[in-house]
Every structure is written in C-alpha cells, then in structure tokens.
Chain A
Amino acid sequence: MLLITCPVCAVTAEETEFSCGGLHVQPGETRRYARGVVREYWLCAAGCGSWFGLARHSVNQRILGSWTMGKEPPLFPGETA
C-alpha cells in the first residue's frame, strides 16, 4: 500500500485516498507498463480533487516524484527519454 503525497494540496495519505488513472501518455505517444519507472495519472480523490502526475518504480514501488498538470515532468533517475 503506497503512501502518496499530492503535489497540489501537499497532503500525504494512503493509496486508497487516491485513484490511479493509468499511464501518463502524451497525445500520439505509446507507452506500456514495464519493469522500472512508470509515469501515471493519479487523482487526489479524497483530498483536493486534483489530477497530477506521479513517477513510480514498478518493482520496488519507490516513488520518484510527482508534478502538477501543465508542468513538464523531469526525467527521473532510471528513466530513458
């Protein structure tokens, strides 16, 4: 069970307070779930109601960072452009 911090309202809460919206893809881009860093949409469902981006390692579940919508996400360690 992940512990997630919302980059919009800054609340840190259990995964069940959020809702995962699947892979974060730009229009025209195709990405698949893979071992390693994955970028996803998440919704601060029980909090401020904002969608945001989250980078998560799909094997060790470490969270590498998050970003608000409209911002260009950085390249996270272990990620290839």
Chain B
Amino acid sequence: MTSSRIPKDKDPRFGRLIDRDAPLAFTFNGKKLKGFAGDTLASALLANGVRTLARSVKYHRPRGIMSVGADDPNAIVQTGTGDLRTPNQNATRIPLEAGLAVASQNAWPSLGFDAGALLERARPLMPPGFQYKAFKRPLKAWRAYEKAIRKIAGYGTAPDKPDPDRYEHVNAHADVLIVGGGIAGLAAAEAAASEGLKVFLAEAAPRLGGIADAYEGRIDGMPVLDWVRRTAAKLAAAENVHLLVHAEVSGLYDHGLAVIVENVTPDTRPEEAGNMPRQRLWKLRAKAVVLATGAFEKPLVFPENDRPGIMLATSARLYLRRYGVVPGQKIVIATSSDEGYRTATDLAAAGADISRIVDLRIAPDGALFHMVKSGGQSISVASAPVSTRGKGTRGITDVTIANRLTVDGPALRSVMSCDTLLVSGGWAPAPMLAGHLGARLSFDRELGAFRPGDVPKGLIVAGAANGKFDLALAVGDGWRGGVEAARHILGAAAREAGFSAAVEATQDDPAEAIGSLPDISTPEERLRAFVDVQTDTTVGDMEIAVREGYGAPEHLKRYTGLGLGTDQGKSSVANAAAILPRLGGTAADSSAHTTFRPPWTPIAFGAIAGARRGPLFRPVRTTPLTHLFGDAILEPLGLWRLPAAFPQPGETRENAIRREVRTVRGGIGIFDASAGAKILVSGTGAGEFLDRMSATDVGDTPIGTSRYALFLNEEGFVIEDGIVARLREDRFLVSTGVGRAASLSGWFERWHQTLLRDLDVFIVDETERWAQILLAGPQVPELLSRIPGDIDISSFTVDSFAEGDVNGAPARALASRYTAGAEVELSIPAGNAPAFWNFLLEAGRDIGVARFGMDAMQRLRLEAGAFDLDRETDGTVTPYDLGLGDLVSSESDFIGRSGLERPALTRPNRRHLVGVLLDDKMLTPPPGSHLILDPEEPTPRRVVGHITTSGYSPTLRRSLALALVSAGEKHLGDRVFVMMTGDAHGAEITVTDFLGTVGDDA
C-alpha cells in the first residue's frame, strides 16, 4: 500500500482545507492526476499515491515527500513548460491549480529507470571533497567529468526563454514587522497593534495560523482554530495593521529593511484579478522586527533513513487534518517526542494500522503517552530504528528496531514490515533570519537545536522560534514579543499590557535530543545514515571530513555539501550540530553553524528584477542627434547609445570603418561628439582650482586658447583627459572625450566642496546644453567657410578657441586634436543641432562630407598613437607610463602629485605604452593578447606586456597595435612575440606615433 486520500465521510476533522466538490486535473511527469481545490501540489501527489518525486543529487536514491512545509528536502520539482518553466520549487509550497504541469528534477533519463543510480555503486569515487581531490589533474579531464556530473546532478533546467510574467516592487514602512502568522505571530501583532503601532505581518503560507491546526487546546475559551480566525479578523479590521499572506520574508538587512516576496494569486488577491503580477517584492522598513518563524521537526538520523515512505510525524498529521491524506496503511512511528503519539491517535482514527510506536526515550511519562498506551497501542520504549529496507521507488518495506539499553546483538533486534515510517526527533527553532543580521545562534544541548542567542537590538524572537513549543508557551511568548517591540520603539510610553487570555492545552513531555545513533552502527551503515537528505550528506561523510581535517562547520559545509542545498539545511542544521562533536569535530557552541544568508528560500530572478527589465533595465542616454542615426550601428558606451559606424548598403562594418577613416584623412568627416562633458568653471579662483585638479598647468592658459590636460586621482593614476579652454579671465571650459560626461564634473564638485572649499569657484555642467559636432579632415577650412556666422576660424591655430555666432545661433569653436589632423569642434545649442547637422551634410555634399562613428574615431586615434582612456588606462596607469610626462606640472600641488611620487609609480620597469608592429602586416592581435620575449622558453613563459588597442590602418595599409610593455621605452626597436591562440607572432616595439614614423610602403 501507499499514501492515499481517505473517504469523504470518514471523520469531519480530516481534510478541512480541500473542497471535494472542486476537482482539479494536473500532470506529473506527463501522467494525468486529480486533486482538489485547496490541495498543495505535495498533498495532491500523496493523495494519488505518488511515493517518489525525485532522485537525490549525488547518489540518485529515490526520494519522496518528508514534510508538509518549507523544510522538505526532497519535494523539489519544476512546474510549467517552455518560458513558464520554473525549476527548484518545493511541492509543499505550491497551491494546486487546474492544468498544472509538474516534472521531477534530478531524474535523468527518467524517474523509474535511472542510469544515475549506478553512481551509487561507484560511491568510492565520490567521497566527501571529491570535487577538490579527484578531478584536479588533468584539467581537460575535469571538464569532461563536470559536464557529465552536471547532467546527472543538475538542479532542474533553467527556462530558455524570457519570463513572460510580470513582477512588481513596492516600498513600505511600518513600526513593527512580524515575520510569521502562526499563533505566536498573531499574538505579537495583537500586542503591538494595541499599543497603537503600525504593524505589518507577513506569513509565508496562503493562510494564517501556522500549524495551530495540528493541536487540540483552547485559547480564551475557544478552540485554537477559532481563536486564530477571531484574531485574524480583528487584525484585518484594524487600521494600523497590514496582513500579508503567501508572502515569504526572504531576507533581513541593515536598518530594519526586510525583503518580502508575495505570491499573488486569485485566492489571496481577488481584487487584482485580470491584471495580476506573479509576485510582488516588498521592501519594508520597520523599526522593530519580531521573528515568529516557528520551528522545524527534526528527522531521525539512522541507516537508510531516506527512503520514500519515511515522513515527519507532525507533517503526516497535518496532511491528514488538512487534506484528508494518509501516508500509508501499515505504519511504524519512531519518536523522541510526544508528537508521535498525537499522530498515532489521528491516523488510527482515519483507519490506518499503527503497528508500533517506537519511543526513543528511556521512560516517557507524559499524558499523551499514557493515553495512547491505555488504548492498547503497541509501544516499545528505549528503542530506536537502526535500519530500513525497501523496494526502489516504491519505498520502505520494513524497519529494524533495536533496544537502546542492551548490548548490540542480532537477537535484540526485531524487523517489522511496514509501508510507512513516521519519525520525530522533537523540534528545532527556526530563527535563522536573525543570522542575516550577523547574529550567531547558540546551540542548546538539552534541546539538540539552536536557540536565538544574542540578537541585534530591535529584533525579537518569539514563540516556537524562541524554543517555546507548547501552545500555552507559544502564544504567551508571542504576546511578549509584541510588547518588547513596542518597548523598543516607544520606550517609557509603552503600556506593556500583559497577555490575559487563559490557555488550556496538554503540556508535552520533553523530547530527548537523540538525533542520531552512530554508536550502534557500523561504518558502512553510517555511510547510509543521512543527515542532510537534500545534499546526500551522511554521518559517514561527516566522519571522513572530520578525519581529513575539515571538522569545523564552515569547512564541513564546503567539503561535504552539508546545508548547501536549496533548503539551506532547514532539516539538517540541528542534527548536524548535535552529531559533529561526537565525531570529534568542532564542539557545538554559539559559533558552530555556517552563516545564514538571504534568500531564506529560493526566489525568482524576476522578483529581484521587478519592472527593471528590457528597455527599463537602465535608462538610455541619447544626444540631440541620436534620432538621426537610424542607419548606424549603435553601441552602448556607459549609459549612451552611440553610433559605432555608418555602413552603406552592402558594406561590412570593417569596410565602413575603413571608408570613414579614408574620408577623414583625405576629405572631411563629421562626428557627433555630444556625449563628451562640457564643464564651465568660473570665479576668481577658477584658475587655481583647475591647477589643483589637473596634473597639467592650465591656470595660466591665455584667453582665447586651450590646453590638453590630464586629470589624476589621489593615487596618481590617470582618470580623465580633456581640453581646458580659457574663455575670459575668470572663466574656463573643460571638455572631455565622448562617453564620460558624468564623472569629471562630479569629481570637480567633490573637491570643490571638501578640500578646496575656500576658493571662489562655480562649477556648471553644461553637457546637456550643447551639441558637439566635430569636423575633421583637410577640407575642414573649406566647409567652415561655407557656414554663415561671425567666428573667424581662418586664423585658428592648434590651440585656438572662440565664441560667437554660427548659422544664426550662439556657438563655441575649439581647435581640437583627437584625430591628429585638421579639426574643429563646434558647440551649438542642443535644439539647433539636428538642423545644423543636416545643413553640414548638404553644404559639404560636393566635397564628399561623410559621417563617421566611434570605431573610425578609435582607428584614427590609433594611427596617431593617441591613448584612449577606456582602453589604455585601467586605473593603474600614470602619465609617465603613457609617455606624457611632459604634461605633468613641475610646480603646482595638484591632486595625485604625492601619489605619483610614490616609489612604486616611478620604477623603471613599469609598463609603458608603446607601439607594436607585427611582421605580418595583415594580422591584427585582439586587445589582451600577451607579449613574450622568447617562444622557445618552456611554459609558463614570462609575459612582458599586453596589447591594448589594435586595428587595420587604411592610411598606412597595415595593422597597428598599442601595448603596455615592461620598461617599454627602453626597448624601442626590440623584438617581441605576440601570442594569439597559442601561436607566437614576431613583432617590433616602436614609438606610438605611427603616422609620423611608419612609411606607407605597400
């Protein structure tokens, strides 16, 4: 037999959440199945007798549902197909929907016949840490192994199309955030709300109440569930309370920030039907946070404890009470807490045969024990399961029980046949979210689990998460949590009313922290006693890790994979901490757990991205001319989209670049330079300010002229270059190259506001106000003569600057030097730019004026050997490295001066910018190619530098390259070899001024 749904009229207590009149069809691995409205995917699968959902990651052992909640390590499935496919979902958290298509993960090629299961025989090949030791050498072999292992052990298949769903982000503020809507969370919310505070409660499940429905008892005279309903209704009606269900707090961050992922469904948000996002990510700021996150039932650790049909005892009870599902018909219960007795009572009422209750405790004496015992139930105390057997995917067939008090021997063991084994090792608090704020949990040996320990101020842990498991304790502690939150916020103004309602409930006999029984098992058996079921980590694996020196929790995690699964070790962290010291590992103390990091449960990338995707991912900056460039290849540069080239019909990109370069060298080209910064610096201190900001002396620039200048950071490295023009005595204009408009004005502003505050300076970033059009080529004077206006450019020399009127609008003209040819940069008001651009193309038609893009500009600069800030400098290059030491002021105290004088920046063997000419003139080495001195040298060879820019020069009819080379200046004329895909190509180190030195001898 296997799990099944009990008949409708068996007992009204069972199946309270399902609607048997609303059947829903769904598929599992293509098989058609039926569930009911109200089911979770897990309960519907159990109702259909599905025992095995997945194969384990490492050993591909068949695995079934173990829990009713987020701690289930096995029920990981993917839902949907194509672009709607979502991997790594926990079946216990998915509400069943009509038509839901569900598939197993980790079951290649199929769940039933699984080639991967052969891996188990090859187990000695995959010991703990195998990833570190087995496949290290040779490297090529590891790549092949990795491919094969990933295919077998993959965590689902990533969708291959964009996510069609919509996701939203919401910002919200509250006084108190309550995490968890169980009875403790509800009591905390009520307490905090009664103080008049703004309360926000987030519950991960689609409904409030937590696992209150697993218990009998009365609060305030009414059954627990009625109290939950009444309190929830009261809170929902309160104006200062916001209740959010089906919403998981996935992370806590500094200053009270919580990230909450709300699953938006028609059930929880009927008002949004028709325009519903899949998920809504809440960014909530709260002054205090109450963690009422409950507890996880601990599994028992013993050999072969991972078979399908082995389930947590309280989970089995909840599957019955909520969904009318029994896990089997012939059941053995192994428990070290009273939960096993509660579950036995329920299952017996549902008609299942409880063959035996195996109580690990030496002398249980609670009310529940005596009640069940007096009912005639067969019970073995001081006993424990020590092994199971099973039939593959059909799961467990029998369990071996041994007496804990007698010496180990075959006669003292008994084998009991069963189809289901329910286990309970007591409860482990789940305050792990506190770890997101850096709190270390403390291990409680009595409990065999972690308690909150020292938590930051403003964070309060309450209820079962605080180790208060019994109903009466949990509800009272929840109320205390709400009061403490109020005290944190209101101080002396808090009323601090006590919890007044009477609670009637059975008090449980304490659970015994057993966890595992490695003392009565053989080493072979311990290798099959699973601690972390999701990552296939066993007691034996932990033993090996400790023996090999990886006994500290953080080491153990990396070495074995313990706690590394998608469940973050929810079901294993407590047992592992109890077992580790027994194996000789680090003692379980307050620091003996690995770091808990967000997200607490897996969340979709879509939820993180929200609306910021596609065109909304980043804003796009355009120039006043971008809209004219529909025929260009546009490429991103920072936030800009700039034309890389303007290919004519039938022309390749490279051919377009060469044509554009030839046009500039032989005729005239125009270039949109609007994406460069224009910064106006004025005031009586402007000259001094710029002398401090720039490594080059610019403060004494004559009016009406300009200077090329370098800007360094405090360390002495080049961060910007630009042209500083002097407009008037107290007014300068700083222009930078294309694409870097934001950074330099911010840099100026920073120093103006901090170290240079006393100077009379005003900084105005005029970048958006002007359009910049660069005219370049020998025909520039001719074209300029055809433009109406009063700027006389005929007298321009290489550093001239003028203001005036061009084509009927105010304009600035600057003799710039980007391309090492005749060149003028015109600034005109942004709004006039499109008309002026078209005017230039029209006015220069007969002399062949053509547009050129970023690629051609870069090629032109390469020909001139001019460095490009985005290529040659990477934040570690000085003016001297670039061969631009002449530009460094010898007098002024500029920013970067002291950095530049550090010994490391003046060493003779620093990398210098040089030219590299390959013997093969047609060969273009890609940027990043290494330079070596001797190809005969055995590997690893000494690398003396790398290529920074390269390309074919149509002017010189050969390929050119710039490179940063160790002590390059001293090696001009020397031989060097450029490495390209393993081959060494001979080359010569040259000066960078190719135009002035390389003959066109082709």
A1-B253, A1-B254 known; A49-B754 Cβ under 8 A: no
Among residues of B, the one whose C-beta sits closest to the C-beta of A21 is B750
Q: Give Cα A60 to B255, complex, Å.
A: 10
Check B616 for interface membership: any CB of A closer than 8 A: no
Q: Which listed residue (A2, A27, A41) contacts B255, Cβ 8 A?
A: A2
Asked whether, in the complex, the Cβ of B285 is within 8 Å of the Cβ of A60, the reply is no
User: Contact check: which of B253, B254, B285, B753 meets A50 at CB < 8 Å?
Assistant: B753
B757 at the interface (CB under 8 A from A): yes
Docked pose: A60 CA to B382 CA in angstroms: 47
Given contacts A1-B257, A3-B255, A70-B757, contact A51 B750 (CB under 8 A): yes
> In the complex, A71→B152 CA distance in Å?
64
Q: Please count how many residues in chain B sit with their CB below 8 Å of the partner chain's CB atoms.
A: 15
- The CA of A2 and the CA of B253, in the complex, are separated in Å by 9
How many angstroms between the C-alpha atoms of A1 and B253 in the bound complex? 6
Known: A3-B285, A49-B749, A51-B750. A61 touches B254 (CB 8 A): yes
For the complex, is B493 an interface residue (Cβ under 8 Å from A)? no
Contact B755 A27 (CB under 8 A): yes
Which chain B residues numbered 654 to 688 have a C-beta less than 8 Å away from chain A? Answer: none
Main secondary structure of the interface of A (DSSP, over half): loop
User: A41 and B254 in contact (CB under 8 A), knowing A3-B285, A60-B456?
Assistant: no
B 456-476 binary contact with A (CB < 8 Å = 1; else 0): 100000000000000000000
Contact B285 A41 (CB under 8 A): no
Instruction: Provide the B225-254 mask, 1 if CB < 8 A to any CB of A, else 0.
Output: 000000000000000000000000000011
Smallest beta-carbon distance B664→chain A, Å: 39
Asked if A43 and B757 make an inter-chain contact with CB atoms under 8 angstroms apart, the answer reads no
Instruction: From known contacts A3-B285, A60-B456, infer whether A51 and B753 are also in contact, taking CB-CB under 8 Å.
Output: yes
Q: Mark A33-69, 1 if CB is under 8 A from B, else 0.
A: 0000000010100000111000000011100000001
B754 contacts A51, C-beta separation under 8 Å: yes
Contacts of B749 in A (CB 8 A): 49, 51
Complex Cα distance, B256 from A2, in Å, reads: 9
Chain A residues near B753: list those with CB within 8 A.
50-51, 69
For A8, give the chain B residue with the smallest CB separation: B753
Of all chain B residues, which has the CB nearest A25? B714
**A11→B212 CA distance, assembly (Å):** 44
User: Which residues of B lie under 8 Å from residue A43 when comparing CB positions?
Assistant: 746, 750
Chain B, range 752-805, C-beta contacts under 8 Å to A: 753-755, 757
A41 vs B438: C-alpha distance when bound (angstroms): 25
Measured CB to CB, the closest approach of chain B to A19, in angstroms, equals: 8
The interface on chain A, measured as residues whose beta carbon lies within 8 A of the other chain's beta carbons, has a size of 15
Is B754's CB under 8 angstroms from A41's CB? yes
- In the bound assembly, the distance between CA atoms of A1 and B285 in angstroms comes to 10
Chain B residues, Cβ within 8 Å of A3: 255-257, 285
Bound form: Cα–Cα A50–B750 in Å: 8
- B358-393 Cβ-contact flags toward A at 8 Å (1 or 0): 000000000000000000000000000000000000
0/1 interface trace, chain A 20-35, chain B, CB 8 Å (1 if under): 0100000100000000
- Interface residues in A67-81 by Cβ distance below 8 A to B read 69-70
> By the criterion CB–CB under 8 Å, are A2 and B757 in contact?
no
Residues on the A chain within 8 Å of B750, using CB: 21, 41, 43, 51
CB distance from B454 to the nearest CB of A (A): 12
Query: Nearest Cβ in chain A — how far from B90, in angstroms?
Result: 27
Considering only CB atoms, which chain A residue lies closest to B254 in the complex? Answer: A61
CA distance A70 to B750 in the complex (A): 13
User: Shortest Cβ distance from B746 into chain A, in angstroms?
Assistant: 8
B746 contacts across to A, CB distance below 8 A: 43
CB A72 to nearest CB in B, in angstroms, measures 13
> Bound state CA distance, A21 and B438, in angstroms?
25
B754 engages A2 (CB within 8 Å): no
CB-CB nearest in chain A for B758: A70
Q: How far is the CA of A60 from the CA of B456 in the complex (A)?
A: 8
CB A45 to nearest CB in B, in angstroms, measures 8
Residues of B within 8 A of A21 (CB): 750
Q: A43-B750, A49-B749, A51-B750 are in contact. Are A69 and B757 (CB under 8 A)?
A: yes
Does the CB pair A1–B255 fall under 8 Å? Answer: yes
- Using CB atoms, name the residue of chain A closest to B171: A14
Q: Which residues of B contact A70 (CB under 8 A)?
A: 757
- What's the least CB distance linking B456 to chain A, in Å? 7
Find residues 251-304 in chain B having any chain A CB closer than 8 Å to their own CB: 253-257, 285
Please name the residue on chain A nearest to B253 by beta carbon: A1
Q: Using A49-B749, A60-B456 as known contacts, say yes or no to A69 and B255 having CB atoms under 8 A apart.
A: no
Query: Within 8 Å CB of A2, what residues of B?
Result: 254-255
Q: Which of A21, A27, A69 is most buried by chain B, counting CB atoms within 10 A of its CB?
A: A69
Q: List which B300-328 residues lie within 8 A (CB) of chain A.
A: none
Question: Measured between alpha carbons, how far is A70 from B757 in the docked complex, in Å?
Answer: 8
In the bound assembly, the distance between CA atoms of A25 and B750 in angstroms comes to 14
Kindly state the separation between the CA atoms of A41 and B714 in the bound complex, as whole angstroms. 15
Bound complex: CA A49 to CA B749 (Å): 9
Closest-by-CB residue of B relative to A27 is: B755
A51 to B763 alpha-carbon distance, docked (Å): 15
A2 vs B255: C-alpha distance in the bound complex, in angstroms?
Answer: 6
In the complex, what residue of chain A is closest to B256 when comparing beta carbons? A3
A27 to B254, CA, bound (A): 32
Assembly CA distance A51 to B757 (angstroms): 11
Interface flags for B340-373 (1: CB within 8 Å of A; 0: not) read 0000000000000000000000000000000000
Which residues of chain A have C-beta atoms less than 8 A from B253's C-beta? 1
Contacts of B438 in A (CB 8 A): 59-60
Q: Does the CB pair B285–A69 fall under 8 Å?
A: no
Q: Which residues of B contact A61 (CB under 8 A)?
A: 254-255
Shortest Cβ distance from A14 into chain B, in angstroms?
A: 8
- Min Cβ gap A39→B in Å is 13
Min CB gap A6→B, angstroms: 13
B894 to chain A, nearest CB (A): 14
Measured in the bound complex, the distance between the Cα atoms of B257 and A27 in whole Å is 36
Assess the B754–A69 pair: CB atoms within 8 A: yes
Q: How far is the CA of A49 from the CA of B765 in the complex (A)?
A: 13
A60–B285 Cα distance when bound, in Å, is 17
Q: Least Cβ distance of B435 to chain A in Å?
A: 15
Proximity string of chain B (430-455) to chain A, C-beta cutoff 8 Å, 1 when within and 0 when not: 00000000100000000000000000
- Complex Cα distance, B438 from A43, in Å, reads 27
The CA of A61 and the CA of B753, in the complex, are separated in Å by 26
Whole-angstrom distance from the CB of B900 to the nearest CB of chain A?
16
Q: Which residues of A contact B254 (CB under 8 A)?
A: 1-2, 61
* Cα separation A69 to B749 with both chains bound (whole Å): 13
C-alpha spacing A55/B753, complex, angstroms: 18
Residue of A nearest to B456 (CB): A60
* Distance between A20 CB and nearest chain B CB, rounded to angstroms: 12
Complexed CA–CA distance, A27 and B256 (Å): 36
CA A75 – CA B650 in complex, angstroms? 70
Q: What's the nearest-Cβ distance from chain A to residue B905, in Å?
A: 17
By beta carbon, the residue of chain B nearest A45 is: B746
Closest CB in chain B relative to A70 CB, distance in Å: 6
A4 nearest in chain B by CB position: B255
CB proximity of B200 to chain A, nearest CB, Å? 17
* A49 to B755 CA separation, bound complex (whole angstroms): 16
Considering only CB atoms, which chain A residue lies closest to B746 in the complex? A43
Set of chain B residues within 8 Å of A49, measured between Cβ atoms: 749
- Residue in A closest to B753 when the chains form the complex, CB atoms: A51
Q: How far is the CA of A67 from the CA of B725 in the complex (A)?
A: 36
Closest CB in chain B relative to A47 CB, distance in Å: 14
A69 to chain B, nearest CB (A): 5
Residues in chain B near residue A41, CB distance under 8 A: 750, 754
A59 and B754 CA atoms in complex are apart in Å by: 27
**Residues of chain A within 8 A of B257, CB atoms compared:** 1, 3
| A-B CB contact pairs (8 Å), 12 listed | A1-B253, A2-B254, A21-B750, A27-B755, A41-B750, A41-B754, A43-B750, A51-B750, A59-B438, A61-B254, A69-B754, A69-B757
15 additional contacts (CB under 8 A) given A21-B750, A51-B749? A1-B253, A1-B254, A1-B255, A1-B257, A2-B255, A43-B746, A43-B750, A49-B749, A51-B750, A51-B753, A51-B754, A59-B438, A61-B254, A69-B753, A69-B754
Q: What are the 5 A-B residue pairs with the smallest beta carbon separation, nearest first? A: A61-B254, A51-B753, A3-B255, A1-B257, A1-B253
